[in-house]
Homo-oligomer: A and B are copies of this chain.
Amino acid sequence: MKITAMTQSLVLHFGEMGSRWGLNRTLGQMYAVIVLTEAPLNADQISEALQISRSNVSMGLKELKSWNLIKLQHIPGDRKEYFSAPSDIWEIARTLVVERRKRELDPTLSTLRDALMEQPSNESDEYTQMRVKQMHDLMEMVTLWTNEMQGMSSEKLATLLKMGEGISKILDVKDKLLLR
């Protein structure tokens, strides 16, 4: 499959960024081409578009599946598997947030909890546990938020995010009008 110059340059950029996003170059490129192309793509097309081996594509697809970022579909009369990204960009964002949380926060939260269970052996450990507690509480709040986000419709999420600079004011209003 041939890709346009515009797609090509975007694909290269997302490849560069891939590693910063906890993926890697190839995964970034693969997801870019899938997201930016309207029609579902099969592995051979991706392999050709990105000039990477078929086996590399297979491994990449496996990874993208584990991130829940792609949808598998079949085309009548064609035995190949075709992949596409959700058409709703908010759905992609929601998925990314929750999957990153799983990978970046959950394991740490569990380790922090373990550390809090231990008996501090001296003042140094007491300070350490104090810090651990702070981190733990913060991360738990972030987890609550990402869970909340999962339950929100794309419309509501868009509204919330659009509030941007308004959020601080809403907080004030809430304090003043609703909770006292």
Contact = CB atoms under 8 A, between A and B. Distances in A.
Interface of A: 4-7, 9-10, 13-14, 16-17, 20-22, 35-38, 89-90, 93, 103-104, 107-108, 111-112, 115, 118, 120-122, 124-125, 127-129, 131-132, 134-135, 138, 141-142, 144-145, 147-148, 151-152, 156, 159-162, 164-165, 167-168, 170-171, 173-175, 177-178
B115 A144 contact: no
A159 B7 CA distance: 43
Contacts of A171: 156, 159-160
Given A10-B111, A111-B13, A125-B4, A148 B168 contact: yes
Query: What is the count of identical protomers in the complex?
Result: 2
A164 B145 contact: yes
Given A36-B128, A38-B127, A144-B164, A107 B17 contact: yes
A36 B131 contact: yes
12 contacts: A4-B128, A6-B118, A10-B112, A13-B108, A21-B104, A37-B128, A89-B134, A90-B138, A93-B138, A145-B164, A160-B171, A170-B174
B13 A89 contact: no
A148 to B, nearest CB: 6
Contacts of A148: 164-165, 167-168
Contacts of A128: 4, 6-7, 10, 36-37
A150 B162 CA distance: 17
What 9 pairs between A and B have smallest CB-CB spacing?
A144-B164, A89-B134, A141-B161, A38-B127, A13-B111, A36-B128, A6-B125, A20-B104, A36-B131
